Amino acid sequence: MAWTSQQSARLRLEMEILERYFPSFYLKDSIIPGRACVEGIIRSNSGAEYVVRLHVPADLPNSVPDLEIVSPFLHDRFGHSLVELGTSYPMHLLKPEGGLVRICHYSASHWNPNITFAKVLLKIRAWVEGYEGHIETGFPIDHFLPHMQA
Amino acid sequence: MEPIVYVLDEQVRDLLTHLTSAGTLEEGVAFGFDDWTVFHAYTEKPFTTPSGIVCPCFAVRADTAGMVDETRLTSSVRARTDLSERPAVVLVVDTHSDGTPQCRALIVSHSKMAAADTRFVPRRSELYSRNAGLLETSALAAKKVVVVGLGSGGSPVALDLARAGVGQFTLIDFDRLELGNISRHVCGINDLGRYKTLAVRDQILQKNPYASVTTMEVNINQALAPVEEAVAKCDLLIVASDNDQSRFNLNQMSLNHNRTALYGRAITRAAGGDVLRVRPWTGPCYNCVFSSGLIDGREEEMSQKRQALAVLPAYVEEDKANAMIQVGLSSDIAPIANMMVKIALLELSRGQETGISTLDEDLKADFYIWANRREEAYAAWPLMNYKWTRPSILRWYGARVERDPQCLVCGGHLKADTPLQGIVQ
């Protein structure tokens, strides 16, 4: 199965937007639906770099894309691996996959096809600042980033 | 009262083609009701799940004079089966001089034999005689409808369309009927554990034995290609699924193939609901309405844990998922299903002069809102009382919703035929 023509057009639109706002991101690995991903670097205000991978859903743009931090390997302020934390409400974390931290950015009930990859990455940009705030202060990430209403 | 025996017209016709010699007993099956006063007799496997108490059934062809030796026939039947607990139905088939099939039934018990009032069912011409004048039933028989979601909303819609004479259905759902579904579903206890698609198919065939019903027991979000193939072939898409992802996917399919789609849903505790008609590329699509803010604060009814867990992040406790399950009554769902049926019949009859054509002039809006009670999103609505000029419960309201030029699904932002080459690394 291949991308439909609408999905191909949507992917191109997504990449055009990313080129403007997150220029390091590129479509990677495969153009096969369900395997493709978009990967790039998000830089925090402190200058730290995070490699972020967004999995393009096979039914693009109709479901929430999974998003993970590829590197660096993240720990909390107290030295625990974020992967070992597992799902965490205060840290906005979903169940890790393949040893990588997955960020909860949109719940399915808040998702709609008007949300672009750039908007998701903008939330990850905010999460990164929240994460560094946690490292600095010990407050959980949701101290800096409130949750969306379910 | 003389017992009544119902036989299927086409089964008697089939019997006459292969039962060539008189006196040979052909086995079938019958189901008896109400102290053996009513029987449904089949000479082939019933096409729906039958009810009643099973009893033996035999068919025999009359001789050339249209006669049968009843004493000998009775002895043959008694020799073949034990009639101490239940009687047997014997169908004596023949053709009239004009070639039409004839059938008379006998009820044979261990001690006596009696004639029964024999009735053919169904005759296609009579099946929808009560709809004549309102609907063009012969045209509806050729219409194809895809129904996605066969729960408390989709199942009555499918059944009502069958009642109106719609002849071709594709039913899509991967859920099975559970005890908690029964009070709001068209199917009952005897369908527990079955796929909803198959149980509803049987209900449809009970109403329209000539209907062609195909079923797909799939999660549409994981079986996009076959579902899209079904949508491409339909005249109307009915969406009564329970999650936005499926609605977004179906919205895309209806746009891809220019198929009108109807979306219906109930809000929490079925305090109300809404119905959306999407006329691709001429009116708003599902995403236009979803992102317009019109349904903000009107959260969808959660009727099962699976549904709640699908929209909640993984870290949400089970208690919260359970608390989200707040269902309404069947009578709260009924108005929403009823509205979907009315719009569906309008769409399926479009282009023909029917008795419901004037409804088309009234139903100009594409999005309709209904309130069952003054709670949830409707808590601030005024009392119904005797006023009819203000919003009130138990009335439909059409809302004017335009296509959103910014919609990323139908707004024209996407350049067609844009190959991915050049953007893939």
Report the mean per-residue pLDDT for chain B. Answer: 88
Model confidence at A67: pLDDT above 70: yes
Distance separating alpha carbons of residues A41 and A120, to the nearest angstrom: 14
Best of B420, B421, B425 to disrupt the A interface (most A CBs within 10 Å) is: B420
Residues of B in contact with A34 (CB under 8 A): none
Per-residue model confidence (pLDDT) at position B390: 84
Give the torsion sign (CA, B34, B37, B38, B43).
positive
Kindly tell me if the per-residue pLDDT of B127 is higher than 70: no
Q: Is the pLDDT of residue B424 over 60?
A: no
| Averaged pLDDT for residues B54-69 | 89
pLDDT in tens, A86-137: 899 999 999 999 999 999 999 888 899 999 999 999 999 999 999 999 999 9
* Fold (CATH) for B139-399: Rossmann fold (3.40.50)
Shortest CA gap B196–chain A (Å): 25
For residue A87, the chain B residues in CB contact (below 8 A) are 313-315
- Would the pTM of this model clear 0.95, i.e. be above it? no
How many whole angstroms separate alpha carbon B390 and alpha carbon B359?
22
The conformational region for residue A61 under phi > 0 = left, psi -120 to 50 = alpha, else beta, is: alpha
- Chain A hits for B315, Cβ within 8 Å: 87-89, 93-94, 104
For residue B425, is pLDDT > 60? no
- Per cent of chain B over pLDDT 70 is 89
pLDDT tens, residue by residue, B343-369: 999 999 998 888 888 888 999 999 999
**Closest listed residue to residue B295, CA positions, set B280, B312, B277, B275:** B275
* Token pair in block for residue B413: 């932002």
User: Helix (H, G, I), strand (E, B), or coil: what is residue B256?
Assistant: helix
Q: Is the pLDDT of residue B316 over 60?
A: yes
- Between B71-75, B286-290, B302-306, B358-362, the lowest mean confidence (pLDDT) is in B302-306
Given a cut of 80, is residue B61 above it in pLDDT? yes
A114 touches chain B (CB under 8 A): yes
- Return the pLDDT at B339: 98
Q: Which two tokens stand for residue A28?
A: 């990677």
Distance CA B126, CA B129 (A): 5
Considering only CB atoms, A62 lies closest to which of B245, B310, B416, namely B245
> Checking DSSP bridges between strand B144-148 and strand B236-239, what pairing results, if any?
parallel
Asked if the Cβ–Cβ distance from B244 to A95 is below 8 Å, we say: no
Over residues B322-343, the pLDDT tens digits come to 777 667 889 999 999 999 999 9
Per-residue pLDDT band at B423 (split at 50, 70, 90)? low
Q: With cut-offs at 50, 70 and 90, classify the pLDDT of residue B115.
A: very high
Look at residue B107 and tell me whether its pLDDT is greater than 80. yes
Q: How confident is the model at residue B288 (pLDDT cuts 50, 70, 90)?
A: very high
CATH class of B4-121: alpha beta
**A97/B contact by beta carbon, under 8 A:** no
Confidence of residue A28 (pLDDT cuts 50, 70, 90): confident
The ranges assigned to domains in chain A are 5-142
Q: Percent of chain A scored above 70 by pLDDT?
A: 98
- For residue B154, pLDDT over 70 is answered with yes
**pLDDT tens digits along B204-256:** 998 888 899 999 999 999 999 999 999 999 999 999 998 999 999 999 999 99
Evaluated on CA atoms B70, B71, B77, B82, the torsion sign reads positive
B294 falls in which pLDDT band (50, 70, 90)?
A: confident
Question: Which CATH number is A5-142's, of 1.10.3720.10, 3.90.1150.10, 3.10.110.10, 3.30.1360.200?
Answer: 3.10.110.10
For residue A58, the tally of other CB atoms under 10 A from its CB is 18
Q: Do B245 and A15 touch (CB under 8 A)?
A: no
Instruction: Enter the ipTM.
Output: 0.90
Give the one of A9, A36, A59 whose C-beta lies nearest to B224's C-beta. Answer: A59
Does the CB of A24 have a partner CB in chain B at under 8 Å? Answer: no
Rounded distance, CA A126 to CA A106, Å?
13
For chain B, the structural domain boundaries read: 4-121, 139-399
pLDDT digits (tens, 9 = 90+) for B162-178: 999 999 999 999 999 99
Report residue B132's pLDDT band, with 50, 70 and 90 as the boundaries.
low
Hey, which residues does A42 pair with through a beta bridge?
A50
The Cα B180–Cα B183 span in angstroms is 7
* pLDDT computed for residue A149 by the predictor: 72
For residue B416, what is the nearest residue in chain A, using CA coordinates? Answer: A9
Locate all alpha helices (DSSP H) within B349-408, ordered by sequence: 357-362
SS (HEC) of A86-142:
CCECCCCEEEEECCEEEECCCCHHHCCCCCCHHHHHHHHHHHHHHHHHHHHHCCCHH
A63 has a chain B CB within 8 A of its CB: yes
Q: Using an 8 Å Cβ cutoff, are B28 and B43 in contact?
A: yes
B293 vs A: CB within 8 A: no
Output the pLDDT for position B417.
52
A150 or B86, higher pLDDT: B86
How confident is the model over B9-50, as pLDDT tens digits?
A: 888 988 888 888 877 889 999 999 999 999 999 998 877 778
Across the interface, whether the CB atoms of B249 and A59 are under 8 A apart is answered yes
For the segment B87-104, the average pLDDT, to the nearest whole number, is: 90
A148 in reach of chain B (CB within 8 A): no
B425 contacts in A (CB within 8 Å)? 26-28
Q: Lowest mean pLDDT: which of A38-42, A75-79, A118-122, B120-124?
A: B120-124
pLDDT band at residue B269 under the 50/70/90 scheme: confident
* Alpha-carbon span B425 to B418, nearest angstrom: 16
Q: Which of A15-24, A80-89, B286-295, B317-326 has the lowest mean pLDDT?
A: B317-326
Tokens (6 digits) for B217: 């027991």
